[in-house]
Amino acid sequence: MKIAIVHDSRTGTTAAAAKAMAGILERRGHSCTLGPLAGADPSKISEADLVCVGSWTQGLFVILQHPTRASMEFISRLGDLHGKKAVVFCTYKLATGSLLPRMAAAMAARGATVVGQFRFRGPSVHEGFVSFASSLGDGA
Ligand SMILES: Cc1cc2nc3c(=O)[nH]c(=O)nc-3n(C[C@H](O)[C@H](O)[C@H](O)COP(=O)(O)O)c2cc1C
């Protein structure tokens, strides 16, 4: 499967989580592109079979959490994602509130089928994502 992973990372945590995700998916034989969403070409990203968009969690730590403006703007610039799968993910410290559902709704509004929503408390990827990667089958 052709997979695109883009992220908005302020201090590197979300970028590290995205890199770990790509490693897991590549070990299963999928082909991944990985990079910051700033400067990524939304039309190229939309060509993937599975589009993964990640944001760091912005808010007041216990309330008013939301995805970054850049990540929501990027999603709004993606092409038609009908027939494509999508994953949304974030990193956080305390709480994520409605962040993931908001990103998922925005991806669904582009026509994607959202197959996963993951939050990582730091740069490491948890077992839930490993199971998800297995559920996709082998890429080759
Ligand atoms: C201004 C600001 C607001 C934040 N708000 C929240 C928040 O509401 N909830 C939370 O769990 N973490 C919050 N965080 C923590 C970051 O989301 C978390 O450290 C994240 O992993 C950083 O990712 P990055 O290294 O990719 O930028 C906030 C961080 C900053 C700088």
The CATH homologous superfamily for domain 2-135 is: Flavodoxin domain (3.40.50.360)
The full set of domain ranges for the chain reads 2-135
Report the residue among 19, 57, 63, 99 best suited for mutation to probe ligand 1: largest number of ligand atoms under 8 A from its CB.
57
pLDDT digits (tens, 9 = 90+) for 19-71: 999 999 999 999 999 999 998 999 999 999 999 999 999 999 888 999 999 99
pLDDT digits (tens, 9 = 90+) for 66-110: 999 999 999 999 999 999 999 999 999 999 999 999 999 999 999
Global confidence as pTM: 0.97
Report the residue among 56, 60, 62, 119 best suited for mutation to probe ligand 1: largest number of ligand atoms under 8 A from its CB.
56
CA distances from 24 to 15, 34, 40, 65 (A): 14, 13, 22, 28
